[in-house]
Chain A
Amino acid sequence: MSIQPEQLKYCDSHEWVYAPTDAGGVATVGISAFAVAELNDLVFMALPSVGQKLAAGQEFGEVESVKAVSPMYSPVSGEVIEVNSGLVDRLEQLNADPYDQGWMMKIKMSDPSELAKLMDYQTYQKMISQHG
C-alpha cells in the first residue's frame, strides 16, 4: 500500500480516509500530517477493536500529546475489520509517516455514499492554511 495525501478525502476534524473504487468498500482511516504536527509530542493512543461498529462522526479512538487529548472521529459508517495495533507502541511512526505507516483502522463501509460529503485534498489544504 502506498497512500499519498493527494488521493485522500478529509474531515474537518483532520481524519483522512482512503477508499479507492477497487478496495471493495473498505476504507482506510488515519489522521493528517497537519494534525500530527499540531499535536506534537505524542504520548498515548487508543484505537478501536476489530468488529466494532461505528457511525460516521462517532469517536473511534483518542490521541494524547503532552499538550492535550484529542478524540478521533470516524469519517464513515461501518464495521472495523482491521486495526494497526502496533502503532500505539510506535507513535514516532505517526510523526514520520502519518499516511502509509500511520494508518489506524480499516472499515467495511455500510454507506459508501458518505465519502461524497468529505473534503478533497485541495479543499482540506485551503482549510488548514486558513487555520494558521
Chain B
Amino acid sequence: MAPFAGYDMPIQYSGIVAEHTATRTALGVFDISHMGRLRFDGPRADQLLDHLLTRRVLDMQPGQVRYSLICNEEGGMLDDVLVSCLESPSGKIYFLLVVNASNKPKIVHWLQPHLADFPDVEFHDVTESTAMIAVQGPRAVGVCERLLPPAATKLGYYRAKVTDQMSKPCIVSRTGYTGEDGFELIVRAEDAVRVWENIFLAGREHGVLPVGLGARDTLRLEAGMPLYGHELSEQIDPFTAGLAFAVNLKDRNFVGSQSLASKSSSASGASVSKLKRVGLKVEGRRAAREQSKVYNADEKEIGSVTSGTFSPTFNQPISMAYVDADAANIGNRLEVDIRGTRAPATVVELPFYKRS
C-alpha cells in the first residue's frame, strides 16, 4: 500500500506483470474511487462547463462523454478530465466531471469564483459518497454482460448511461486508461463492496485480477496516455502535449482560450512550441524513468523523460519524453541517460500499444 492523493492505495495486488498481463489478455479490475467526481446540476450547468473546459460542452447530448482539459488564463493545464452529460431516470439532465485525485482540491478551489458567477448551478463533490470501478480487457464485454443491463454493455466508445447493477444505481461509461476495451462503473459508496464482489464472481472463470497503481501506470504508458504531474502540468500547454484534439477554439470563449489561440497556428491547430511529446523505445533492460535526460547524436541535451518503465507487453523499456520538436521525428536515434550511463533510444509512434 502507498499513500496517494490522501488515499491508501495498493501499488500491486499479485504483481505488476501478472496484473498487466491479465488486463491485456483477459480482465483487470481497478478501484479508481480516488478519482474526483464532481456533479453539476441546473439548466445552465452546460454554460458554466463550456466556459471552463477546452472542449465544447454546449452541444453535448445525454449519453456523451468527452476528454477535455482545464487550463489557466495562460493556457497551462490545470487538469485533464472526462466530462459526461447524463440523464437521470426521472429525465433530469446533469453533468459529471471526473478529475485527477491529486488535482481535486486545486480544481474545487479554482471553481469557486466561477460557481459564484453561475448561482443557479448546483455543485456537488460526490467523490466520497460514490465509488468508481474500472473493468478493462478483452473479456470486459462478456463479463459485464452478466452484470449490467444490455443497454449498458452496448454503449459505444465514450458514451455513458445511468442504469443499475443488479438493481443498485450505477453510472456506466465506456472509456478507459489502459488501451483495452472496457467500462467504468460509478456506484453508491455503500454498494461498492457488493458490486466489486459481483464483478469477481462474474469474471471468476475468465482470469480476472484486481489491478493496482503499478500496472495502471505500465498499461497507460503502453497506451501512450499522458498522466497529470508527469506529461501534463501548468507549465505545459495542450499543443506541446500533443492534445490539440482536446481544444475547441472555434467560436468559443473559455478560460485560457485567448492564450491558446495565440499558441495554436490558426489553420491547423499545430503546435508552435519547440518541444514535443514523443515515445521512446530504449535498448537494454534498464528503464529510462522520469527526469532522465535525452541527448541527440551531437551530444546536445534536447529534452527529458516524463514517464518510463519496463514494458511487460514488449519486454523492453519504454519512455515518454519531451524533446526538441526537430528531434521528434519517428525513427530518430537518440540517447537517454540512465543514472550516469547512456542507452540508445529510438523515437517511435504513440501509442506504443494498440489493441488488435
**Could you count the A-B residue pairs with CB atoms below 8 Å apart for me: how many are there?**
41
Asked if A44 is at the interface of the complex by the 8 Å CB criterion, the answer is: yes
How many chain B residues sit at the interface, stated as a range, is: 10 to 19
Given contacts A66-B309, A67-B11, A69-B286, list 4 more A-B pairs with CB under 8 A. Answer: A64-B285, A69-B289, A69-B339, A132-B1
Q: How many residues of A are counted as interface, with CB atoms below 8 angstroms from the partner's CB atoms?
A: 11
Residues of B within 8 A of A (CB): 1, 11-12, 15-17, 20, 214, 218, 284-287, 289, 309-310, 312, 339
CA distance A41 to B11 in the complex (A): 13
In the complex, whether A84 has a CB less than 8 A from a CB of chain B is no
Q: Out of B12, B218, B285, B339, which one reaches A40, CB within 8 Å?
A: B12
A43 interface contact, C-beta 8 A: yes
CA distance A44 to B317 in the complex (A): 11
Interface of B is mostly: loop
Q: Do the beta carbons of A66 and B289 come within 8 Å of each other?
A: no
B312 CB to nearest chain A CB (Å): 6
Residue of A nearest to B15 (CB): A40
| B residues in contact with A65, CB < 8 Å | 16, 310
**Cα separation A69 to B289 with both chains bound (whole Å):** 9
A residues within 8 Å of B by Cβ? Answer: 40-41, 43-44, 62, 64-67, 69, 132
Rounded to whole Å, the gap between the CB of B309 and the closest CB of chain A is 6
How distant is B64 from chain A, measured CB to nearest CB, in Å?
36
Among candidates B11, B285, B289, B309, residue contacting A44 with C-beta atoms closer than 8 Å: B285
List A contacts of B12 (CB < 8 A).
40, 67
Pull 20 A–B residue pairs with CB atoms less than 8 Å apart, ordered by A: A40-B12, A41-B16, A41-B17, A43-B286, A43-B310, A44-B284, A44-B285, A44-B286, A64-B285, A64-B287, A64-B310, A65-B16, A65-B310, A66-B17, A66-B214, A66-B218, A67-B11, A67-B16, A67-B214, A69-B287
